[in-house]
Amino acid sequence: MIALLARDLRLAMRAGGGFGLGLAFFLVLAVLVPLGVGPEGGTLAAIAPGILWIGALLACLLSLDRIFALDFEDGSLDLLATAPIPLEGVVAVKALAHWLTTGLPLVLAAPVLGILLNLPGPAYGELVVSLLIGTPALSVIGAFGAALTVGLKRGGLLMSLLVLPLYVPTLVFGAEAVSRGAQGLPVATPLLLLAGITAGSTALLPFAAALALRINLR
């Protein structure tokens, strides 16, 4: 498992997929939004929680099709499916590698980009915590979508249509936690719901993704 994780991390760094592409998209979004809606601080502060979470969601979405596609093309996925390690474990490791190369850099960059969007000071802690809790769910759900569409030509668009509705609860509760933090309100409820979504996704979706992979590899 550790060898597989290290291999996926090396491939992601060499290909420049998740790490650089996701951060670049996140940065471009944070720069373009003030240009589009205007530099008025109150307006930016009001929309900053939602914009930051939407940016993180879309940045994670950019590299989802790479989770299984490269292994499918070179035949490695067939070997992994017949290896002694459970296929569910393979899915979990690949989702973890995606989060480490895409989700975690977004968590670390979000406070800096929050400055561009005039995010209120009290909300920075909630922004980091909500992204740290919620982005693993984005990677696991994305791995499930990638497993459903692996092997399909131009399956990226179909995967986006499948995954985006599943992202909605994470987006809603994540943005709500940041918004409440900006207003000085209690944030325990949205953070707990966000943690529940992540825990449920991590517990169930690797099994569903492994089943989808077995069906697609037949």
Structural contact between residues 202 and 216, judged by C-beta atoms closer than 8 angstroms: no
Domain count, the chain: 1
Per the structure, the complete domain to which residue 8 belongs is given by 2-217
Radius of gyration of the chain (CA): 18
**What pLDDT is attached to residue 75?**
77
pLDDT, tens only, 29-49? 888 888 888 878 788 888 999
Length of the chain: 218
Compute, in degrees rounded to 10, the torsion defined by CA atoms 13, 17, 20, 21.
180
Q: How many CB atoms lie within 10 A of CB 115?
A: 11
In the structure encoding, which two tokens stand for residue 164, read together? 């985006």
d(CA 33, CA 96) in angstroms, rounded, equals 30
pLDDT at position 217 is 80
- Residue 155 pLDDT: 66
> Could you give the CA distance from residue 155 to residue 97 in angstroms, rounded to a whole number?
21
Q: Could you say which residues of the chain have pLDDT below 50?
A: none
User: Whole-model pTM?
Assistant: 0.90
pLDDT in tens, 58-79: 988 888 877 887 778 777 887 8
- What is residue 66's three-state secondary structure? helix
CA dihedral (89, 90, 96, 100) positive or negative = positive
Give the C-alpha separation, 19 to 58, whole Å.
13
CB 202 within 8 A of CB 133: no
